[in-house]
Copies of this chain bind each other. A is one copy, B any other.
Amino acid sequence: MGKKSELLPGTLDMLILKTLTRGALHGYGIALSIKRLSDDVLTVEEGSLYPALQRLLLQGWVKGEWKMTETNRRARFYTLTAAGRKQLSLELSQFEQMIAAIGRVLQDA
């Protein structure tokens, strides 16, 4: 019958940026963090995550740096840039405005 998306389309970049406000993380860690914070409701598939990170790099909203993890593995750690913080705040306010608007449409009466 067609499975629903694991994510609300259009929210992934915002979720990634927000996750990075808590500190630098590699891609895998970002996905885990979102999954856990959302109580397993939101699952970021690899095929969505890495292209999204490339987009964010290209836009200059995050920067990436290859390092070793605690478990001694090679991984690329992402940090928010100043532009990324600005973008996050923009996306947050647009998102909240939309959710409020949808809420008005979904109200009874």
Contacts and interface: CB of A to CB of B under 8 A. Distances in A.
Interface of A: 4-5, 7-11, 14-15, 18-19, 34, 37-39, 41-42, 92, 94-95, 97-102, 104-107
Contacts of A42: 98, 101-102, 105
Task: State the majority secondary structure of interface residues on A.
Answer: helix
Given A5-B10, A15-B105, A18-B105, 5 more contacts: A8-B8, A8-B102, A14-B106, A19-B105, A99-B99
B102 A38 contact: yes
A103 to B, nearest CB: 9
Nearest to A38: B101
A97 B41 CA distance: 8
